[in-house]
Structure 1
Amino acid sequence: MLLASVNLNKRLGASGARSGLAAWLRAHGVDVVVAQEPFTPADRTPPALGGFTFAGGDGRLAVWITEELSPPAVSSPRPWVQRIELEWLIVLQVHLDAYAAASRTAQLAELTAMAAAENGRPLLVCGDFNLAPRPEDGLFGEDSSTFTTPAERAALRQLTQESGLVDTTGGGAPLFTFERVSSGRSSRFRCDLALLSDHLTATTTVAPDSSVRTGPAAFTDHSALLIDLPVTLRAAEPRDVLFALGDLTGRDSAAPTGREYQSHKTAMSRQVPSPASRAVTRFLTGPLSVASVLDHGCGRGTDVAHYRSAGLDAEGFDPYDGFGRPRPDRTGFDLVTSMFVLNVLPDPWQRIQALKDAASFARPGGHVVVVTRSPEEIARAAADGGWVAHHDGFWSSRSKGTFQRGMDHGEITALARRAGLVPAGTAPVLPLTGVCHAVLAKAGG
């Protein structure tokens, strides 16, 4: 999904700006456009944008989505922030106060609280922040501008640090997104930002585009940000049918909806324990003094039987009722294993939730070991099987509703931090091939 974020400086009321924006969106294949100051607030009807459906907002913040896609849920928690639900991703589009530093500082504190209220859900916070994150991001002539105060920068750092966000365009020399001449001197700012959950940076690209403000086809005075995200949006339902596609059955050619994911169908029927579970009992349970184990997402339970045969107090849990492994009544396990669970969940938010749930069963100071299929293995399987791309992975079977994604150690640990888990520095490395794993510790021991 390609999302464009741009301050339009109230210009969409002019036909030339509308046609220029529409042509630019078509040329880049943009799916969603989030706009700050798109039109004059007094205008009651938002301007029509060719090929796009207006999804919500007003003259301060608005969002359009291409006609081929289903409009997202949009709300406005505050006049200066818009919340947009794009499948598993939450976008907070902002236009901070353009005149008062104290107001921007307060707004950033509110944003930090809003991000915390999402409870770890993946976030993109984008828009016109009307501040320079670093001194070199705001220049008046060749000197650092005094427009942005230290208090604002401290509030922005608090937002990124507490929410696990990365300023995606903040590395290296500044790429100014706004320039004008004031009192005979140039004023240059990198004020249009895209703050992204850190675990999404490896699968997302962000590219500023200054042609919208400086080129021959310019239609505004701010650069746009083109943000290519690993999100697959749902197609819009045809307007001339009696029933929605989701109401029909027996159509294997249609991609499953969110309700049709069948992750349990990836569970293997094993007669012998998995190599990963054998590595756990051989190399991990002894050094970590493990006496009790929960296999979280155990499938049919073959590995649970292996742990018990090794003399461990072991239980298994799987959310799929058909496996007959209900949620345990107890917690406080020394070790919780999550074997090939995260890589079959179709989005990062579900993976974070699964890790949080797994961590809830471990005792303070206990451990969680996560094993996934590797990116290389999934890339080969996708090429051989002709798998269809979906979100940040693939449909391994569209008719069954099964998903696969290869994950490396870095991604596992980045997600784990959202669940309150950190790498266990003293734990042995499991000698596993063709997969990736992480041994994680739960705080409190």
Structure 2
Amino acid sequence: MLLASVNLNKRLGTSGARSGLATWLHAHGVEAVVAQEPFIPVDRTPPALDGFTFAGGDGHLAVWISEGLAPPPVSSPRQWVQRIELEWLVVLQVHLDAYASSSRAAQLAELAVLAAAEGGRPLLVCGDFNLAPRPEDGLFGDKTSTFTSRAERVKLNQLTQGAYLVDTTAEEPPAFTIERVSSGKPSRFRCDLALLSDHLTATTTVTPDAAVRSGPKAFTDHSALLIGLPLTLRAAEPEDVLFALGDLKGQEPAVTAHRKYQPHKTAMSRQAPSPASRAVTGYLTSPLSVASVLDHGCGRGADVAHYRSAGLDAEGYDPHDDFGWPRPDSTVFDLVTSMFVLNVLPDPWQRIEALKDAASFARPGGHVVVVTRSPDEITKAAADGGWTAHHDGYWSSRSKGTFQRGIDPAEITALARRAGLVPLADAPVLPLPGVCHVVLSKPEV
């Protein structure tokens, strides 16, 4: 889906700006627009935007969604930040103080707290930050501007590092998003930002568009950001309810989608252990001094039988009740295996939740090994099978409700960080051609 973020400088009160914005949105195929300062916030009804439904907000921050799509849940934790739930992604739209450096620094510190409260959920933090992230991002005349303080940059870095966010429009030279003349000198800033969870950068495009402020059909004085996100928005009247990995803990599904996901239908009926489980016993259990193993997402349990036959104290767990592997009581396993689980879960948040759940069974100092289908394998299978794109992967069977995505080691590692797991240094390499794997550690503390 394509999301647009733009500061409208209170101009939607005029029909010309509304028409120009609507024309631009339709020309680009935008499905959601988040706007800073859309209109004068004095008891005014939100302006109607042709082809879009107002989803929430006020004259400070507002969001519109394309007609025919379900309006997302929207809330306002603070007047300067708006929280929007787009399927599995949380968008924090911000408009930081335009006048006081100390106020912006305090807002950034509070934003870091809000981001941390999401518990690792995939994040997009976008809007008008009213600061230059780097010295070269703010110029006054031909010199570096002193508008942004060091304290602001420190707080911004703490936000991005703490929440594993990437400043997606950081380029050399900077693409300034606002250019004005102040005291007879040009003032140029890259202040309209899109901070994105690092594991989403490979599948997300972020493009600044200066035509909205400088072109013949300009309707504001800020550049807009066009953000292509790897998610599929649901229709206004969804057909079914999403299977959520929250079922692992007996929670109710939090999100709905076009089809009912049934990951358990990807489970193979094996008469023999998988090559991945044989690689674990052949190359991993001895070097890591593993005595106990949990196969997390074990399906029908063929690999559990293999681990037991290798002399390990092994258990299995699968959230699909019909497989007959309930949650074990023990949470001190030396090793937890997650074999071809992440790649059948339809969004990054469910994958993070799966890794958190898997990590909860490993003892401090224990390990988690994750094996996934590779991006190359899934790309080929999708082309050969005519699979339909969905979120960041494909429906492998719409009738069955099964999903597949190829996940490489870098993405596994980025997702695992949200579960408190880190890559094991000098980990044994498993001879598993055509698939991806990472051996992870659960810190002692």
The two structures share one fold, judged by TM-score above 0.5: yes
Shift of 1:257: 2.9
For 2:244, the equivalent position in structure 1 comes to none
Shift of 1:235: 1.0
Q: Which runs of 5+ in 2 are unaligned?
A: 242-255
Structure 1 residue 138 corresponds to structure 2 residue 145: no
In 2, the alpha carbon distance for the partners of 1:63 and 1:427 equals 46
In 2, the alpha carbon distance for the partners of 1:381 and 1:353 equals 26
In 1, the alpha carbon distance for the partners of 2:282 and 2:295 equals 16
1:192-211 aligned within 5 A: 192-211=192-211
Measured against aligned partners, the alpha-carbon deviations of 1:308-337 in whole angstroms (never above 9, x if no partner) come to 000111000011111110000111111100
1:108-127 aligned within 5 A: 108-127=108-127
Measured against aligned partners, the alpha-carbon deviations of 1:179-235 in whole angstroms (never above 9, x if no partner) come to 000111000000000000011001101000000001111100000000000010001
Any conservation in 2 of the 1:336–1:358 contact (CA below 8 Å)? yes
Provide the identity percentage.
Answer: 80
For 1:230, the equivalent position in structure 2 comes to 230
Query: Aligned letter for 2:368?
Result: V
For 1:289, the equivalent position in structure 2 comes to 289
In 2, the alpha carbon distance for the partners of 1:318 and 1:87 equals 24
In 2, the alpha carbon distance for the partners of 1:92 and 1:215 equals 28
Length, aligned pairs only: 431
Query: Aligned letter for 2:195?
Result: L
Any conservation in 2 of the 1:126–1:193 contact (CA below 8 Å)? yes
For 1:27, the equivalent position in structure 2 comes to 27
Measured against aligned partners, the alpha-carbon deviations of 1:336-356 in whole angstroms (never above 9, x if no partner) come to 000000000000000001001
For 1:322, the equivalent position in structure 2 comes to 322
1:175-324 aligned within 5 A: 175-237=175-237, 245-246=239-240, 257=257, 260-324=260-324
Query: Aligned letter for 1:164?
Result: Y
In 2, the alpha carbon distance for the partners of 1:286 and 1:317 equals 23
1:281-430 aligned within 5 A: 281-430=281-430
Choose 168-177 or 1-10, whichever is displaced more.
168-177
In 1, the alpha carbon distance for the partners of 2:321 and 2:119 equals 27
For 1:240, the equivalent position in structure 2 comes to none
The DSSP-based 3-state class of the residue aligned with 1:260 is coil
In 1, the alpha carbon distance for the partners of 2:68 and 2:430 equals 47
In 2, the alpha carbon distance for the partners of 1:291 and 1:198 equals 35
- Describe the shift of the 1:396–1:259 C-alpha distance in structure 2 as closer, same or farther (beyond 3 A): closer
Shift of 1:258: 6.9
Measured against aligned partners, the alpha-carbon deviations of 1:264-309 in whole angstroms (never above 9, x if no partner) come to 0100000000000001100111111111100000000000000000
Any conservation in 2 of the 1:279–1:432 contact (CA below 8 Å)? yes
Query: Aligned letter for 2:78?
Result: R
In 1, the alpha carbon distance for the partners of 2:236 and 2:355 equals 32
Measured against aligned partners, the alpha-carbon deviations of 1:230-274 in whole angstroms (never above 9, x if no partner) come to 01000123xxxxxx7449xxxxxxxx8378211001000000000
The DSSP-based 3-state class of the residue aligned with 1:94 is strand
Any conservation in 2 of the 1:341–1:372 contact (CA below 8 Å)? yes
For 1:58, the equivalent position in structure 2 comes to 58
- Describe the shift of the 1:258–1:322 C-alpha distance in structure 2 as closer, same or farther (beyond 3 A): farther
In 2, the alpha carbon distance for the partners of 1:10 and 1:392 equals 35
RMSD value, Cα: 1.2
Any conservation in 1 of the 2:240–2:259 contact (CA below 8 Å)? no
In 2, the alpha carbon distance for the partners of 1:10 and 1:424 equals 52
For 1:68, the equivalent position in structure 2 comes to 68
The DSSP-based 3-state class of the residue aligned with 2:213 is helix
Shift of 1:171: 3.2
For 1:100, the equivalent position in structure 2 comes to 100
Q: Which runs of 5+ in 1 are unaligned?
A: 238-243, 248-255
For 1:252, the equivalent position in structure 2 comes to none
In 1, the alpha carbon distance for the partners of 2:318 and 2:334 equals 19
Query: Aligned letter for 1:429?
Result: V
In 2, the alpha carbon distance for the partners of 1:289 and 1:6 equals 55
